[in-house]
Amino acid sequence: MDIYWGGQALFRLKGKMSSVIIDPYSPEFTGLKLPKELSADMVLISHEHEDHSNGSAVTESVSGAAPMVFKEPGEYEVAGAVVTGIDSFHDNSQGSERGTNIIFHIMMDSLNIVHLGDLGQSELTEDQLAKIGEVDILLIPVGSIFTIDGKAAAGIVAQLEPRIIIPMHFKIEGLKFELEGVEAFLKEMGAEGVTPVPKLSITRDKLPEEPLVVVLNKT
Alpha helices in the chain (DSSP H): 27-30, 126-132, 150-160, 183-188
In degrees and rounded to multiples of 5, residue 27 shows phi and psi of: -60, -40
d(CA 103, CA 180) in angstroms, rounded, equals 22
Q: Which helix (H) or strand (E) holds 138?
A: strand 137-141
The conformation of residue 206, written as its DSSP 8-state character, comes to G
pLDDT digit string, tens, across residues 53-109: 999 999 887 677 899 999 999 999 999 999 999 999 999 988 888 999 999 999 999
Q: Is the pLDDT confidence value at 195 over 80?
A: yes
3 class by beta-carbon count within 10 Å (0-12 exposed, 13-18 middle, 19+ buried): buried
Q: Which of 35, 32, 12 lies closest to 22, judged by CA?
A: 12
pLDDT digit string, tens, across residues 119-141: 999 999 999 999 999 999 999 99
* pTM exceeds cut of 0.85: yes
Buried b / exposed e along 120-147 (16+ C-beta atoms within 10 A):
bbeebeeebeebbeebbbbbbbbbbebb
Q: Is the pLDDT confidence value at 179 over 90?
A: yes
Q: Give the pLDDT band of residue 2 (cuts 50, 70, 90).
A: very high
CATH fold group of domain 2-213: Metallo-beta-lactamase; Chain A (3.60.15)
